[in-house]
Chain A
């Protein structure tokens, strides 16, 4: 015998102890790594309540301050809060003339990652209240986003679900902006217009709980979020002293062939389009309506919605109108309101019911106020 029994017993005991210790050793949680993200989490300026229509809108790579009125002097010193540990260049609180937008670069705490934001100050006087959809930016070389030119920079009043769709775009073979649910078309009623099309999102879309994507366009902002219905954040400041009466414009519509109801009950057997406008009260935090508002939010002041006799298929441009009914309701010229207009190529697209291929064209949207 090579070992004495006693030695073997010791070895065996050691073995048992090791056996018990290994699982403990393996599960040691290490020190947290430094942050790798480089986000602007919030932004503000001095006297923000007096000067701004709403809290600054922070997009993927943009920060937009919406001024209540045109200022003679565009010198501001915006302040930012960042991902903990991150740094910003130029420094938070530096004064600049914002007649043109400025670029800021945020560097992550670990120093590896950087993100460049475009910071702009814009005024939307809403004097014309008319949108012709002539201008688009190509976001990340992938999809369209509409904007209006204003002094100080681009005003991105309208947004769509394109950002969310772009997660799946490579998989679905989306190569050009027109492969996305919402894009600009040169064949508008006058010049360019908007084309919205309900798209299949493939098996991956189902994984994300979004079995199809209706083409949509709304006044507000989109932040990719799951459940997907929480991504659409409706509302822009209603910077006008007169009550809105009618929203008008032009449309064309073609329903897709196979209507699929992913979430029952459904009121439809054939796909149709939707358009509505909502005026609602402003609040300081979370100043928007989510996609699942269901017209029931207590902030809602008035609603205008397209009537059923306009939910038709047409190859020719037809005018549409939807009106706010002010009977028994009042508009306070001194109060601050938010408003949104929402278009969708599938009426129940918010619940992922629709027909792939349903297409809605929209152009020349106008908000008419009382005299």
Chain B
């Protein structure tokens, strides 16, 4: 059910983006102001793009508590967007690009940890302690992203681009469970709570995600003859995935993703 509403929400966002773009274009056509019309019609490319992402929410400085990554599954993460590139000159050496997109990012991991300070949360109540054992984490978030990039025309076919991006989380998911291990209540010498025989305790940190995340992206695109292009970029968020006041995970995590996709320039 939730999935269905999410889909509806995404559809609505995509629709709004399209309408805004259309309005911009038609407005500029109808305008008598030749300067504005000139800006939106000369040396400007409009395009749409779609991509898939490979990456995860990772601690940049890997904490000692993590002893072993047992498994990692990037899942199928996709995104779509529209963009406009305004070139500063006819030679299209340098330009600036504004993008608006919707993307899904996530991963599934299974890690072995030792003395990992965590909290098992359920309906506003929680049990806090130091956990040693297996932790399964499933991250899945939907973002509206607005990247602003500087574009450099390396050749007729190849452009490099890089810049900053703002991401707004519209669907949050950061949850998992612990199993095959034990929790020491409050401190490493607290009462021992063991989890055996596949017994597990779930946690859900979804509500602790930062809603607005700032980041950067860097990449390259190759144009083909028929207005199609393929591209690849990495993006990285400076903002920690989880709220900095949230202490159930003792280290900061940042989104880092490699994206590969194709686009069409009008």
B63 interface contact, C-beta 8 A: yes
Contact between B130 and A226, CB atoms less than 8 A apart: no
Contact between B256 and A26, CB atoms less than 8 A apart: yes
Name the one of B55, B66, B123, B154 contacting A8, with C-beta atoms under 8 angstroms. Answer: B154
B170 interface contact, C-beta 8 A: no
Return the chain A residue nearest B123 by Cβ. Answer: A203
Contact between A32 and B62, CB atoms less than 8 A apart: no
C-alpha gap A32/B187 in the complex (Å): 19
Contact between A5 and B115, CB atoms less than 8 A apart: no
Complex interface: chain A residues within 8 A of B192 (CB): 39, 60, 223-224
Evaluate whether A38 and B189 lie within 8 angstroms (CB atoms) in the complex, with A32-B64, A207-B201 already known.
yes
Name the one of A31, A36, A224 contacting B194, with C-beta atoms under 8 angstroms. Answer: A224
Evaluate whether A29 and B68 lie within 8 angstroms (CB atoms) in the complex, with A36-B188, A223-B192, A225-B196 already known.
yes
Contact between A226 and B193, CB atoms less than 8 A apart: yes
Contact between A225 and B194, CB atoms less than 8 A apart: yes
C-alpha gap A115/B186 in the complex (Å): 13
Complex interface: chain A residues within 8 A of B67 (CB): 29, 32
Complex interface: chain B residues within 8 A of A209 (CB): 199
C-alpha gap A299/B195 in the complex (Å): 26
Complex interface: chain B residues within 8 A of A15 (CB): 218, 220
Interface flags for A32-55 (1: CB within 8 Å of B; 0: not) read: 110011110000000000000000
Interface flags for B230-244 (1: CB within 8 Å of A; 0: not) read: 000010000000000
C-alpha gap A60/B186 in the complex (Å): 14
C-alpha gap A128/B104 in the complex (Å): 71
B94 to chain A, nearest CB (A): 9
C-alpha gap A223/B182 in the complex (Å): 12
B60 interface contact, C-beta 8 A: yes
A168 interface contact, C-beta 8 A: yes
Contact between B193 and A224, CB atoms less than 8 A apart: yes
A113 interface contact, C-beta 8 A: yes
Return the chain A residue nearest B236 by Cβ. Answer: A22
Within 8 A of A (CB), among B205-222: 218, 220
A204 interface contact, C-beta 8 A: yes
Within 8 A of B (CB), among A109-163: 112-115, 163
B128 to chain A, nearest CB (A): 10
Return the chain B residue nearest A227 by Cβ. Answer: B199
Contact between B65 and A33, CB atoms less than 8 A apart: yes
C-alpha gap A1/B192 in the complex (Å): 66
Contact between B218 and A204, CB atoms less than 8 A apart: no
B135 interface contact, C-beta 8 A: no
Return the chain A residue nearest B220 by Cβ. Answer: A12
Total residues of chain A contacting the partner, CB 8 A: 45
Contact between A203 and B185, CB atoms less than 8 A apart: no
Return the chain A residue nearest B152 by Cβ. Answer: A8
C-alpha gap A171/B199 in the complex (Å): 21
Evaluate whether A227 and B115 lie within 8 angstroms (CB atoms) in the complex, with A108-B189, A167-B127, A207-B122 already known.
no
C-alpha gap A9/B154 in the complex (Å): 8
A335 interface contact, C-beta 8 A: no
A294 interface contact, C-beta 8 A: no
Complex interface: chain A residues within 8 A of B189 (CB): 36-39, 108, 113-115
C-alpha gap A243/B192 in the complex (Å): 37
Complex interface: chain A residues within 8 A of B218 (CB): 15
Complex interface: chain B residues within 8 A of A60 (CB): 191-192
Contact between B64 and A230, CB atoms less than 8 A apart: no
A85 interface contact, C-beta 8 A: no
Name the one of A26, A204, A207 contacting B60, with C-beta atoms under 8 angstroms. Answer: A26
Return the chain B residue nearest A22 by Cβ. Answer: B256
B125 interface contact, C-beta 8 A: yes
Within 8 A of A (CB), among B44-68: 55, 58-60, 62-68
Evaluate whether A113 and B188 lie within 8 angstroms (CB atoms) in the complex, with A167-B193, A204-B125 already known.
yes
A329 interface contact, C-beta 8 A: no
Contact between A33 and B201, CB atoms less than 8 A apart: no
Evaluate whether A113 and B195 lie within 8 angstroms (CB atoms) in the complex, with A32-B114, A33-B64 already known.
no
Closest 10 CB pairs of A and B: A36-B188, A171-B125, A226-B199, A115-B189, A203-B123, A225-B194, A33-B64, A207-B122, A227-B199, A224-B193
Can you list 25 contacts pairing A with B, beta carbon distance less than 8 Å? A1-B93, A5-B154, A5-B155, A12-B154, A12-B220, A26-B58, A29-B62, A29-B66, A30-B66, A31-B64, A32-B67, A36-B130, A166-B191, A171-B125, A203-B123, A203-B125, A204-B126, A207-B122, A207-B202, A223-B192, A223-B194, A224-B192, A226-B193, A226-B194, A230-B196
Interface residues, chain A, with chain B CB atoms under 8 Å away: 1, 5, 8-9, 12, 15, 19, 22-23, 26-33, 36-39, 60, 108, 112-115, 163, 166-168, 171, 202-204, 206-209, 223-227, 230
Known: A167-B193, A225-B194. 9 other contacts (CB 8 A): A8-B160, A30-B62, A37-B188, A38-B189, A204-B123, A207-B201, A207-B202, A223-B192, A224-B194
